[in-house]
Amino acid sequence: MIPTQIVVGAAIVRGGSVLAAQRASPAHLRGRWELPGGKVDPGETDEAALVRECHEELGVRIRPIERVGPDVLLPVRPNAPRALLRVWTAELTTGEPEALEHLELRWLTADTLSTVDWLPADLPFLDHIRSRLSGG
Ligand code: DCM
């Protein structure tokens, strides 16, 4: 059986905003926006991967709060395993996010959440995130 690669994303919420990050690479994703995160390593829990990826990409410590939305199938790439995106809301515990691996970071409110060009796999999570930003 071919294993499924799990990819995790963090909806880091502060006040009424969520942090969006603009990808630098690979070339076909450059300029698109995502919830920061990445691949879960073998033997690693989803939450540990979320904490590790946010430290590597943003230089901060976060605390995952709760899973939001479904498992979303990532677009299939040639010769790549099936991959699913899972998202958690999270809060910052230490540090101020820096774009260590991204082109730009932006704090988006419920009203501005749809103003950036999100990766397609992140789109199904936006309504869940918006309702939390609106206090729902
Ligand atoms: N990915 C995504 N949305 C996210 C995070 C990642 O669609 N919020 C995708 C982009 C890559 C794959 O998952 O195709 C692995 O991400 P990374 O390259 O960051 O490890």
Instruction: Tell me the pLDDT tens digit for each residue of 40-95.
Output: 999 999 999 999 999 999 999 999 999 999 999 999 878 888 999 999 999 999 99
Query: How much distance in Å is there from the Cα of 14 to the middle of ligand 1?
Result: 22
pLDDT of residue 42: 96
Give residue for tokens 């799990």: 6
Query: How much distance in Å is there from the Cα of 8 to the middle of ligand 1?
Result: 8
Nearest CA to ligand 1 atom 15: 38
Under the banding of pLDDT at 50, 70 and 90, the label for residue 18 is very high
Query: How much distance in Å is there from the Cα of 135 to the middle of ligand 1?
Result: 28
CA distance 25 to 117: 15
pLDDT of residue 135: 74
pLDDT of residue 2: 73
Answer whether 124 contacts ligand 1 (Cβ < 6 A).
no
Q: Which of 101, 134, 76 is nearest to 22 (CA)?
A: 101
Q: Predicted ipTM?
A: 0.98
CA distance 40 to 38: 7
Nearest CA to ligand 1 atom 20: 38
Give the tens place of pLDDT for each residue, 19-54: 999 999 999 999 999 999 999 999 999 999 999 999
